[in-house]
Every structure is written in structure tokens, then in C-alpha cells.
Amino acid sequence: MKISIGSDHAGFRYKEAIKAHLRAQGHEVLDFGTDSDASCDYPKYIRPAAEAVAKGEAVCGIVLGGSGNGEAIVANKVKGIRCAVCFSLDTARWAKGHNNANVISIGERTVTQDLALQIVDTWLATEFEGGRHLNRINQIEVA
């Protein structure tokens, strides 16, 4: 599976760990940066990662920051993106199962690295439930 990934400086360490984890599982990872933990402007890296998903260049995406909130806000401004902040295995399951999130956001300052990897695996393994949830999602128009 082709997965896009992007982070700001506060999510850089986890981005690198998640990237290695995904590649070890055989996934192709499109890394949109950042390339260090030096302070940076996160939209510069998050928006291209989300756009890759919206354009079909990647099946899904992962964005990271300190809390994950700002990154989710930026990703959700891209038409066609449904980005959920995930901070537990339940939020990862619900993001995909209920909301069909095609991008998730994780905060490096909010979860352990081991939990972040488990969140990614759980989200990728979860199937969208469809049905009534699909109808609600398709009725929402995002500008």
C-alpha cells in the first residue's frame, strides 16, 4: 500500500519511526517532510501529504505534530480528506470504522511511540463499516 506521511518538528521522531515500521511491513511511504526536529511551519509539510491522498497518489496518509490537532485542521482543509486525531486504539478503530478517515493525525507529545505504532496498525487493519455512516459522510460537503 502507498501511504503518505508528513510532520512538523514536534512529530519528526515519530514520523521516522512510523515510516520505518511501514516500510518493514512492505508499504511504500511518500515522505513529505520535515527532515529534522528544527522548528518549522507545519502546513508546509502537512498539506502536501494530505493532497497526495486527495489526488490518489497515496491510498491514505498519516500526519504528525506535537498534539496532532493543528495537523488535522490543515489536512481537513483539503477537499476529499477525512482526517481524525487518534490518541488510542479505540480512536483509531472509530476513525476508520465509523468515519472512513483516509488520513490520521497523531501527537508525539500525547502518546508513546509504541502506542503510535499500534494506532497506525489498528487504523490500517480496520475496515469501514459503511451503511448509515457512509450516507452521513457523503452528505457533507467540504469547501
Q: pLDDT per residue over 61-85, tens digit each?
A: 999 999 999 999 999 999 999 999 9
The catalytic site residues sit at: 71, 98
Q: Which residues pair with 4 in a beta bridge?
A: 30, 61
pLDDT of 143 strictly over 50 = no
Q: What is the SS3 assignment for 131?
A: coil
List the domains of the chain with CATH numbers: 2-139 (3.40.1400.10)
In the three-class reduction of DSSP (H, G, I as helix; E, B as strand; rest coil), residue 35 is classed as coil
Task: Taking residues 3-8, report their average pLDDT.
Answer: 98
Q: What φ, ψ does residue 71 adopt, rounded to 5°?
A: -65, -40
Nearest 5 degrees, angle CA 62-CA 16-CA 43? 50
Kind plus residue range of the DSSP H or E element containing 132:
helix 132-139
Q: What is the pLDDT of residues 88-142, one digit of tens each?
A: 999 999 999 999 999 999 999 999 999 999 999 999 999 999 865 555 555 555 4
For residues 49-70, average pLDDT: 98
Q: Rounded mean pLDDT of 32-41?
A: 92
Q: CA 134: distance to chain centroid?
A: 20
